[in-house]
Each structure stands twice: as structure tokens, then as C-alpha cells.
A and B are shown apart, each in its own frame.
Chain A
Amino acid sequence: MTRPTDFTLRGALDALAARDVSAEELTRAHLRAIEALNPRLNAFVAITGERALEQARASDARRARGDAGPLEGAPLGIKDLFCTEGVATTAGSRILGSFVPPYESTVTANLLRDGAVFLGKTNLDEFAMGSSNTTSAAGPVENPWNRRNDPDARLVPGGSSGGSAAAVAARLALGATATDTGGSIRQPAAFCGIAGVKPTYGRCSRWGVVAFASSLDQAGPMARTVEDCAILLRSMSGFDPKDSTSADVLVPDFAAACGRSVRGLRIGVPEEYRLDGMPAEIEALWRQGLDWLREAGAETVEISLPHTKYALPTYYIVAPAEASSNLARYDGVRYGLRVEDRGGDLRDLYERTRAVGFGAEVKRRIMIGTYVLSAGYYDAYYLKAQKVRALIKRDFDEAFSPSGARVDAIVTPATPSAAFGMDEKQDDPVTMYLNDVFTVTANLAGLPGISVPAGLDAQGLPLGLQVVGRAFDEETVFAVGAALERAAAFEALPAVRAGA
């Protein structure tokens, strides 16, 4: 029999339905794996074992009554950016203190409605700001993969959803929730050798998710297969009147789309994504991916997205601007940390609380955002960035347009490198920002994207390919992603994993 932690989500749901395993057994196995490996990986910031077992027993009872939901009994990790009723939510920051949400985010409520079991809250970069999961107040997360020639070097899992990625890769959970503002699902998925989906902006409700940059933030799933992501996304999605930007559109059967043929699809290959100095292995993997799709009957088409090189600078104006506004709420008055000096006034309370509560990267972004929104600089920075953002979106519109390149999806590398060491790229913020060069465009344009593990570099580290699709056409993204997954037959495993 399959070890419970080795199931795919699909496999576990089938085994649960066949009564080959119970939700309680599955949950216990994952909790044991977390107990064994989390001290090293630091993927979970909170383990809610008692609650998980209660949920699992309730799930087994529902199944026994013939009342099983689509995710009945599936143990998941929840990124600690999602508010969970009665369970502390930190956003990876000191400033939330001992905050315990009195409400449940819409996405996690949807998962609970469908029968999921929550194992705990996963680690992340503070307020989801980072690409290495080294800025968390709960300490860094370690990537379960190691370099072949330097197995002792501790590598980053990527970020900001590094805890979710490491947990899923190391088989501490069947899947996890994550969020993606500039690449925070797709980049760590690529670094950890798993699949991750950033849906179309508006597909998943943002209600109850701690806000970073509201026009870019989008929740999505991480799992070990493309189909598992599709199953999770169907449950996470749906119109929510509590989020004014939630899209009132039908939620299709994403898993069914994974079986669709890619024959006849036009796959765009943007020339601007060929970067100077990009590792040859990544360029080769990209070419290989396009070959696989041609062999499956798709047509590849060279396209141009001319404003690509301006995407990161645009992002680093828009995202900090929105963050500086969103994070103004952390003032030490209504919830979270409070730091005050005897005899200090209210302003002093605000300034001390925020000085102690926020980490260095968050302060940098609040400062940048405050500056670009301040009188006299707004037009030169913020308004300019919003206009360039419109041009970036227009590039994609033309690529997908019947009067333009008429492509159905775009395929690129997911990241410009494999996972790097915990002590690398930490000196210069801009070097760290370049991690998201291939992923940030989809956020700016509001488009869906997936990262699929497709190969290994010379050091034995996973590399991913990205598929970007039209708004609300995740189905084509899943079809192309699944085709890449089938062709790549990625079976390598991380050194650190349950049962290893």
C-alpha cells in the first residue's frame, strides 16, 4: 500500500473514497512527518494537530454518512497570510503579535466547506514580501532539495510562499494554499520541484487574506501535480460579494482541462524573455519544453512583449505604493503588537510600534511606497508606473488577440535560476527582486499562470517552466501545464522528505 504521505491529492481522494485509508490515518501520517522534519525545514509556523485530528474525524464521519465533499479528508497546509478563525495568523511579521482572527478567509472557508483538513499555518516572507523566505519573523525556511556537489549548503525554498512549497515538496502536506503578488507561488514552486498556480486576478476572493498589494495579490494552490492544483483551485475559487474585485464568473472543472489535448494550440514564445546571462540549462529546458509541446501537436510562435523589461521597475513602484497604504493599518491600537514609551503620545506609539514590528524589507517597501505617493512625486513615479503597467497589459492583449499573434498560451522559464543558498543575494535588494523577472508580468496584467517542474540543473536542483494564459482561461493553462508535466515525467525527489 502507498505510504500516506506519498499520495498525490488525487490518489489520496481515490483511496479515501475506496476506504483504503481514513482521513484520520492520512492526517496522523502527515502530522508525524511534520513533527519529524519541521524542526529542520521550518515550513510550518504553527501546527494545529488537535484541530486537524478533530477535522479528520468529522470528515470520516461525513464520508460514512455518504456526505463527502470534493476535498473530503485531504490534509493541507495554509499559508499564514490567510486568516483562520480561532488560529493565530502572523503574516510572518512581529507586528501582528498574538492576533487571532475572529473570522475565516473566504478561500479557507471554501476549502473547509469541501471537506479539507488543515494541518497548520505555513511560513512565508514577512507580509509576502520576498523571494527567498528569509524575511519571516519566524525564521527562514529551508528548501528540502540539496545540491549534488554541495549537499550541506542550505538553500532557500523561494518566496514568499516558501513554507507552503517546502511542506508540499517534503510531503508534509498533500497541497497548500499560497498567494502570488509578483511570483510568490510560481517561483517557490519552481525552486522546490512542485506545481503552483497563480489564477486570474479576481478568480479567488482576497477577503480575509492579509493584504500586500491589492491590485496584484491573488491566492492560488500548490501541489505535487498539475491535476492536484486543478482540484484545489476549483474549491478555492468562486464569486465572493465581500471582495469588490471578485469576479462573478463560472468556476469550470479545472481537473477535466488537464486531460485536454494541446493539438492545434498556438504557443507564444516571447523573445524578450531570453535574458543576457541566463544559465544555458534554463534556455535549454525552455527549448525542450517547446519541443515537447510541438510533439504533442501544438504550434509554437515567436512573439514580442516589448515592455517586458519595464515590468520589474513598474512592480517596484506599484506594489510598494499599495503596500504602504495597506500596511498603514498596523498602528498598535486595534490589534497586534503595541510598543509604547511611558509618557509618549499617540504618534510616538505608532512610530515605536511600527519600528519594532516591521522587518527591514517591509520598512524599505513602505518607505518607497510612501515616497512615490507623496506630493510632488506622485506623477513622476506612481502615475508613470500605472501607465507603463497599461502598456505591459496591452502587450499581452495583442499577443492573445485574433488581430495580433493569436496565441492561446505563452510558455517561458519560471525563474532565471535554480534555488540559491540562504546566504546569497541578501546584500542588494534589487538583486533579490530580479528573481521575479519572468513571473511579475502576469500579476501586472492580471493573467493566470502556472509553474510546472520540468527538469533538473547540473546540481540536481529542480527547474520549472511557466505557462501564462488569457484572463479566466485557466483551463488552457492547465491543459498546457499538464502536457508539459506528462512529457517531462519529472520524478526526482528532494533529499529531505517524509519516509526518506
Chain B
Amino acid sequence: MSLDADTVRRVASLARIRMEPAELSRMEAELNGILGWVEQLQAVPTEGVEPMAGGGAVSLRLREDAVADGGRPEAVLANAPDREGPYFGVPKVVE
């Protein structure tokens, strides 16, 4: 499978990274290099193999459904690039 320029543009858009045409075409070549290399996995027979999703134990533990932390609006907002009162500031979303 080889990526064309349109697909690279679409992936950049999905990834929310603005890319100029020169960067897109460099990215196209690099991504095709990497994807061409990982293509060798298709040769591995994996029928009936359960995919390994995590890095450790198969089942995750459960905990009480109770509030463990919170109630610290100032700490949460302390690093906000733009703040309006107790809210994060962003450009207007709804007209």
C-alpha cells in the first residue's frame, strides 16, 4: 500500500497538524518509506492469534466508583494559555 498526496493531506487533517505543500510532499516520501518497511508483517501467519493490546496483565482491576481527586480548579487552570474566569479561553466556536 502506498500513500498518495491526497491521503497524506487527509491524515494531516485528521491529526490536526497544519502542513505546507513542501512538508506534505516530504512527509509522503517518509511515510511511504516507513510503511513499505512495516509491510513485511503481512507475511506473518496470524490466524487464530489473539491480538495483544496491553503491555502487562490481561485484565485490569476495578476500583470503587468514587471521587478520588478533584476540586482544584486553580491547579487545573494554572497552565492555561488563555483563561476567562474559571474557564479555558478559546476562539469563538458558535456564532
Contacts of B78 in A (CB 8 A): 100, 102
One digit per residue, 1 when the CB lies within 8 angstroms of any chain A CB and 0 when it does not, for chain B 74-92 equals 0110111110000010111
Q: Which of A22-30, A221-229, A360-368, A400-408 contacts B (4 or more CB under 8 A)?
A: A360-368
Contacts of B56 in A (CB 8 A): 200-202, 245, 247, 446, 471
In the complex, the chain A residue whose C-beta lies closest to that of B37 is A430
Residues facing A in B22-81 (CB within 8 A) are 27, 30-31, 33-35, 37-38, 40-42, 44, 46, 49-57, 60-61, 63, 72, 75-76, 78-81
Q: Which of B17, B46, B55, B92 contacts A202 (CB 8 A)?
A: B55
Q: Are B52 and A429 in contact (CB under 8 A)?
A: no
Contacts of A364 in B (CB 8 A): 27, 30-31, 34
* Nearest CB on A from B71, distance (A): 13
Bound-state Cα–Cα, A200 to B56, Å? 8
Bound-state Cα–Cα, A102 to B18, Å? 30
Q: Are A215 and B54 in contact (CB under 8 A)?
A: yes
Q: Are B35 and A384 in contact (CB under 8 A)?
A: no
In the complex, the chain B residue whose C-beta lies closest to that of A349 is B91
Total cross-chain contacts (CB, 8 A): 166
Q: Which of A313, A347, A363, A383 contacts B51 (CB 8 A)?
A: A383
In the complex, the chain A residue whose C-beta lies closest to that of B75 is A102
Q: Judge whether A97 is part of the interface by a CB distance below 8 angstroms.
A: yes
Q: Are A347 and B55 in contact (CB under 8 A)?
A: no
Bound-state Cα–Cα, A118 to B79, Å? 23
Q: Which of A147-155, A279-287, A332-340, A485-493 contacts B (4 or more CB under 8 A)?
A: A332-340
Q: Which of A215, A336, A350 contacts B16 (CB 8 A)?
A: A350
Bound-state Cα–Cα, A338 to B81, Å? 6
* Nearest CB on A from B35, distance (A): 7
Q: Judge whether A381 is part of the interface by a CB distance below 8 angstroms.
A: yes
Bound-state Cα–Cα, A316 to B80, Å? 33
Contacts of B82 in A (CB 8 A): 338
Q: Judge whether A66 is part of the interface by a CB distance below 8 angstroms.
A: no
Bound-state Cα–Cα, A241 to B16, Å? 33
Contacts of B54 in A (CB 8 A): 215, 245
Q: With A335-B81, A380-B1 given, is the CB distance from A313 to B52 under 8 Å?
A: no
Bound-state Cα–Cα, A331 to B80, Å? 11
Q: Are A316 and B91 in contact (CB under 8 A)?
A: no
Contacts of B5 in A (CB 8 A): none
Q: Judge whether A351 is part of the interface by a CB distance below 8 angstroms.
A: yes
Residues facing B in A377-420 (CB within 8 A) are 377, 380-381, 383-391, 393
Q: Are A346 and B14 in contact (CB under 8 A)?
A: no
In the complex, the chain B residue whose C-beta lies closest to that of A428 is B33
Bound-state Cα–Cα, A307 to B45, Å? 11
Bound-state Cα–Cα, A102 to B69, Å? 13
Q: Judge whether A64 is part of the interface by a CB distance below 8 angstroms.
A: no
Q: Are B80 and A335 in contact (CB under 8 A)?
A: yes
* Nearest CB on B from A147, distance (A): 30
In the complex, the chain B residue whose C-beta lies closest to that of A314 is B41
Q: With A331-B16, A391-B49 given, is the CB distance from A313 to B55 under 8 Å?
A: no
Q: With A201-B56, A310-B41 given, is the CB distance from A386 to B51 under 8 Å?
A: yes
Contacts of A214 in B (CB 8 A): 55
Bound-state Cα–Cα, A100 to B80, Å? 11
Q: Judge whether A57 is part of the interface by a CB distance below 8 angstroms.
A: no
Q: Judge whether A371 is part of the interface by a CB distance below 8 angstroms.
A: yes
Q: List 28 A-B contacts (CB under 8 A).
A: A99-B79, A100-B79, A103-B75, A201-B56, A202-B55, A215-B54, A245-B54, A245-B57, A248-B61, A313-B37, A314-B41, A316-B34, A317-B38, A331-B16, A334-B79, A334-B80, A348-B18, A351-B18, A354-B18, A363-B17, A367-B31, A368-B31, A371-B35, A384-B44, A389-B51, A393-B52, A428-B33, A471-B56
Contacts A363-B27, A364-B30, A429-B33 supplied; 19 other A-B pairs, CB < 8 Å: A98-B79, A100-B79, A202-B57, A307-B44, A313-B38, A316-B38, A345-B92, A345-B93, A346-B90, A354-B18, A364-B31, A366-B17, A367-B17, A367-B31, A380-B42, A383-B51, A385-B38, A387-B46, A390-B50
